[in-house]
Amino acid sequence: MSADVLDATTLRRWAHAAVEALSAHADEINRLNVFPVADADTGTNMLFTVRAAAAHADGAGGGVAEVTAALSAGALQGARGNSGVILSQIFRGMAEVTARAAAERGGDLAAIDGALFAAALRHGVGLVVASVGEVVPGTITSVLQAAADTAEDTAGDHIGLADVVAAAAEAACDALDRTREQLDVLTRAGVVDAGGRGLVALLDALSVALTGHAPHRRRYEAAAVAPSAGPASAPQFEVMYLLDECDHAAVHTLRARLERLGDSIVIAASGGGVAAAASSGGVAPAASGGVAQRFSVHVHADDAGAAVEAALDLGRPSAIQITALTVAPEPDPAARRRAVLAVVDGDGARELFAGEGAAVLPVGADAPVRAHHLLRALVDSGAGQVMVLPNGYVAAEELVAGCTAATARGIEVVPVPAASMVQGLAALAVHDAERAAVDDGYTMARAAAGARHGSVRLATEDALTWAGACTPGDGLGISADEVLIVGPDVVAAGAGLIDLLLMSGGELVTVLTGRDVAPEVGEALRAHVHREHLGAELVTYHTGHRGDLLLIGVE
């Protein structure tokens, strides 16, 4: 695999290489994260941002201009933290430069060469400067500036894109080393800038996409010096949201309001076509004068509500994220108390798992469990070792991000692959804090895997399933994401599913009933098992979970 231009296919390859690179280095980057707040999430935030950009690029058709526009839009919409918003502006720089080049040539652009890549980096510098408002030496902006300078100096008629990228990456790496001396907080902590390290990973990923080879980089670790405690009055919350229907002039007003509320302010506009880089006024330039467009807003503040309210009369906020920046003290490494953290849904489930000795993280009514929710629960457990039961309520990327951040805080985390609360109960039943963590995790994982499970829900429309046709109101017995039973009601579907799950043997049937399920359902299923499966026992708990009416497990 080798290419010396960035066409649409290579751009997508770069996006996925960047996801892989940031996945590999997220833990390293998180440990470097001491500025502007030592919240150990820069690597995770950059990873989520690039993953969103890659997903958008995969769904984009056409040529280079369309793919770069998709990368820009995906990065802005999926941006996490100030590092993610800044990263979105680097992608936006590439999108706007390629859009301009395509317009000048009267059609789409076949590929990006070295000169165009250098121009994209330069434009990205202008957009980043405009979005942050004030450039702090020793940050990702310094590293990007060095990469752009070298790319411009290197690009020429006889210099290929791969060589330009390699030179820019080396310059970025040199600038990254200098960040330790440029910013006092980095000097005191003995680290380089976390965002700058992520940018080096992004440029190295481009080398991988072009040549198939990645430069060797040393692993950046904190020096053996006492880290700074940071400012005594650091803001309590990180606030992020998208702001639509807002024009360029109104953003000046928003920035002024946010400056009175907090710091670490980044306001970045979406790419809306060709726009000239401008840094005056500290606002990323709008796509076309005062035309309303989308902005990504980031601020650290004590009053999170006021940070959102500051935008209400200027546009339409959406995708609001509020994350606590103040983290509880790390558990004493010498105190290796072990806990189990179970993610659950329903008041009954909270009581059930807590009664079995687990700490619980309830699923929100309107929002999924995010990495920062998981991190907070892990820290609040106060344990040095935590076995995590996601129970099907945590997306894989959120689970990895939350556990990685907790590990950086000195907590040993063992995720147990439980895909349902019934599997989580099976795992919890064999938990033994006196065993070594690896043995405990293995035993719990085996118990979870050994619990065959399924669910029952009601059909909402006419459909044809593997088990036959269904109509609204029919009970559907589901296992492994397939409808295996169609019954006239919930009890019939539940009984049929239990029969299937017991075909391979089993002694204990666990039925968890949902929020709107009457007690008579559990009684009817218990009678069915007693009548049809001698030697098997059925226990039922009203957990009050949402979604599926019944969760069924067999051990």
Q: Does the pLDDT of residue 223 top 60, yes or no?
A: no
Which structure tokens are listed for 537?
Answer: 């026992």
- List the end-to-end C-alpha distance of the chain, in Å, as a whole number: 49
- Look up residue 164 and give its two tokens: 């330009």
Adjacency order of strands within the sheet including 550-554 = 482-487, 475-479, 452-458, 550-554, 508-514, 537-545
pLDDT for the residue 286: 39
Q: How far apart are CA 8 and CA 50, in angstroms?
A: 17
DSSP β-bridge partners for residue 509: 538, 554
**CATH architecture label of 235-271+293-325:** 2-Layer Sandwich (3.30)
- Asked if residue 269 lies in contact with residue 72, where contact means CB atoms within 8 angstroms, the answer is no
Q: Are 226 and 234 in contact (CB under 8 A)?
A: no
Residues 398-419, buried b or exposed e (16+ Cβ, 10 A)? bbbbbbbbbbbbebbbbbbebb
Those residues with Cβ within 8 angstroms of residue 105's Cβ, 6 or more apart along the chain or in another chain: none
Q: Do domains 1-216 and 235-271+293-325 have the same CATH topology?
A: no
Q: What is the pLDDT of residue 328?
A: 47
pLDDT range class, residue 181, cuts 50, 70, 90: confident
Residue with structure tokens 């556990």? 403
Give just the sign of the alpha carbon dihedral 266, 270, 271, 272.
negative
Rounded CA separation 390/399 (Å) = 8
Class of domain 1-216: mainly alpha
- 268-311 residue pLDDT tens: 887 653 333 323 333 344 344 445 578 889 888 888 888 888 88
- Residue 311: alpha-carbon gap to chain centroid: 25
Indicate whether 538 pLDDT > 90.
Answer: yes
pLDDT over 80 at 246, yes or no:
yes
Average of per-residue pLDDT values in the chain: 85
Q: Higher model confidence: residue 334 or residue 106? A: 106
pLDDT of residue 347: 93
- Average pLDDT for residues 460-478, to the nearest whole number? 93
Query: What does the alpha-carbon distance between residue 291 and residue 278 come to, in Å, rounded to a whole number?
Result: 16
Residue 339: per-residue pLDDT: 94
User: Token digits for 445?
Assistant: 């994982």
Q: Where are the domains of the chain?
A: 1-216, 235-271+293-325, 338-450, 452-554
At 409 the three-state DSSP class reads coil
State the amino acid at position 418 in one-letter form. Answer: A
State the pLDDT at residue 277.
Answer: 31
Question: Which CB contacts under 8 angstroms, 24+ apart, belong to 148-153?
Answer: 148/118, 148/121, 148/122, 148/124, 151/114, 151/117, 151/118, 151/121, 151/122, 152/118, 152/119, 152/121, 152/122
**Is 468 buried (19+), middle (13-18) or exposed (0-12) by CB count in 10 A?**
exposed
Residue type, 140: I
What's the pLDDT band for 199 if we cut at 50, 70, 90?
A: very high
132: nearest Cα among 286, 287, 255, 239: 255
**What is the reported pLDDT for 224?**
44
Compute the distance between CA of residue 29 and CA of residue 405 in angstroms, rounded to an integer. 11
DSSP letters of 52-66?
A: HHHHHHHT--SSHHH
Specify whether domain 338-450 bears CATH 3.40.50.
Answer: yes
In this structure, the number of other CB atoms found within 10 A of the CB of residue 79 comes to 29
333: its two tokens: 């490494």
pTM for the complete prediction?
0.57
Listed residue (127, 97, 142, 109) closest to 7, CA to CA = 109
Residues forming beta bridges with residue 263, ordered by sequence position: 300
Residues 523, 424: contact at Cβ < 8 Å? Answer: no
Per-residue model confidence as pLDDT tens digits over 410-420? 788 999 999 99
Write the CA distances from 501 to 99, 313, 469, 485, 504, integer angstroms: 57, 56, 21, 11, 7
User: What's the pLDDT score for residue 1?
Assistant: 43
Residue 295 CA to residue 332 CA, distance in Å, equals: 42
Using a pLDDT cut of 90, give the percent of the chain over it: 43
Taking the C-alpha atoms of residue 540 and residue 509, their distance in angstroms, rounded to an integer, is 8
Q: How confident is the model at residue 232 (pLDDT cuts 50, 70, 90)?
A: very low
Q: What is the mean pLDDT of residues 170-176?
A: 91
Burial of residue 447, with CB atoms counted within 10 A of its CB: 0-12 exposed, 13-18 middle, 19 or more buried: buried
Give dist(CA 418, CA 421) in Å, integer: 7
More confident residue, 201 or 31: 201
pLDDT at 285: 41
Q: What integer pLDDT is reported at residue 278 of this predicted model?
A: 29
Residues forming beta bridges with residue 344, ordered by sequence position: 362
| Cβ partners under 8 Å of residue 135, min gap 6 | 129, 141, 142
Q: Which of 65-69, 225-229, 374-378 shows the lowest per-residue confidence on average (mean pLDDT)?
A: 225-229
Residue 495 — pLDDT band, cuts 50, 70, 90?
Answer: very high
What count of other Cβ atoms lies within 10 Å of the Cβ of residue 253?
A: 14
pLDDT at 276: 32
Maximum separation of any 2 CA atoms in the chain, in Å: 84
- Separation of alpha carbons 33 and 77, rounded Å: 23
Place of tokens 């017995």: 477
